[in-house]
Amino acid sequence: MKWQKNGLIMLLVLCIGLLSACSSGSQGGGASSDGASSPQAQEAEGSGQPKNVKLVFWNTSYPTIDANNKTKRKEDFYIYKAIKRYEEANPGITIDIQDIPDGTNAMTKFQTAGIAKNGPDITNLWSGSYTLDLKQYLQPLDQYLKQEQIDALTGWNAATENFADNGTIYGVPDGSDGTIGILYNKELFADAGIDPEKLDLNNAKQFMDMLQKIKDKGFTPIGMGDDGDFVYFLDYWFAQMVGTAGINDITNGKMKFNNPELLNVVQQYVQLYKNGFVTNDQPQTQFYNGKVALIFGGFGYIKDARAALGDKLGMMKIPDFSESALVHNGGVGGSGADFVVSKSSEHPEEALKFIMFLLSEEEQIARFKDGYGKLLNVKNVDVSKLTDDPLIVQQQQWANEESTIFWPDNIYPSELSSYISSLNSLVIKQQLSAEDFLSKLDQKRDEIIAQK
């Protein structure tokens, strides 16, 4: 009888276990793609109640202050309206938005929080090396992302290990910066006898010939920033001469900055200054006031430039440096920022769900209409239905062209990018020769590699 009693006990335990499994399995939600769930989600299972989760969102990119309207309420800004929509559609989820400074300050703050393991659930960082340098504090997102989510957006290589098409994904690309080109004053070009529609500029000399015509009419051809617009202009000439693969080789120490192609680029770039084609004195202001014929810029500049120049505003691609360039008729740009999830987050799946909501087609269109400073990186959206400005439509088209090269300064190690900008300010003042400039970049790059 003992074996019968033991058998009955075992049967009873088995039945209870099966009933328990069926009960817990009937409670939907809370489970991640690999079966894991946050503690709060586990508490909610079996209760039939929505899980209560607070997501801390360090906001570095969405405007929450209007300098021209100090009385504008928080709830009237796009991001607060988006959060309200999300919370209403997802009972139990609360988004705690906290504004922090953008750029390098945000990355330093995030790294400090990562070391202490008390970072936010979500934030927005510069993409590329700026994000990947912090990967030890980031939650890899591959296990949570669905293929259809990846297929819906462009720019994933900006947040993927080694900038590859396939690999560990550490961030979700946030919109697009478009493609950096030339914004020009149609009236000043016409006075100089230049018709951009008929231009066929294939090398630096032809570009300089065009600039000379503008100078001969008494106008300054180009306005550049204090660092000589290395990121917008010179970096493109670098990238088109060596290709994206060459930029990666330079970054990894397989190719030198100081090579004949890039030395020629820097020498011709400096010649723009020697010829008196460039001013670094308030370039945008002078352009808007009709004192400068062109500046380098993209989507982010169009609104202010259009307000200043109206129909006199034109846009064209940056001329090729040489007929032998590996990339033609392009520019730098792409997804310069991404949303990330902290490795210390207790709610990675919930955090990613909120990110994908913000980057859905509906929300990207809503923020675009609200005046957000990025183009869409959702595929197959007709921007011409969202704006009447042909230059913005053209920017969206350029952004999706293969000739748009992902920001080289986001591929270089972040420390090297800062170093380049500081040295380039000496190059344009002719206080540092082109060859010494490139040699110093090689030296700095090698030091960074040696420290890894």
What is the pLDDT, as a whole number, of residue 299? 97
Contact 452, 268 (CB under 8 A): no
Identify the pLDDT of residue 102.
Answer: 85
- What is the predicted pLDDT for the residue at 308? 98
pLDDT of residue 178: 97
Alpha-carbon distance 81 to 91, whole Å? 16
pLDDT at residue 49, as a whole number: 55
Q: Are the CB atoms for 153 and 359 separated by under 8 Å?
A: yes
Domains along the sequence of the chain with CATH: 51-176+335-400 (3.40.190.10), 181-329+413-451 (3.40.190.10)
pLDDT at 50: 62
User: pTM of the entire structure?
Assistant: 0.86
CA 199/CA 324 separation, integer angstroms:
19
Looking at residue 432, its pLDDT comes to 98
pLDDT at residue 222 in the model: 99
Question: Which residues, 6+ apart, have CB-to-CB distance to 441 below 8 Å?
Answer: 257, 258, 416, 419, 420, 423
Torsion of CA 176, 177, 179, 181, to 10 degrees: 160
Q: What is the pLDDT of residue 17?
A: 43
Q: From the first residue on, what is the mean pLDDT of each consecutive set of 10 residues in the chain (452 residues)?
A: 40 39 36 40 47 95 91 95 98 97 90 96 96 96 96 96 91 98 98 94 97 98 96 97 95 97 98 98 97 97 97 98 97 97 98 98 97 94 96 96 95 93 95 98 97 86
How many CA atoms within 13 Å lie on the side-chain side of 316? 20
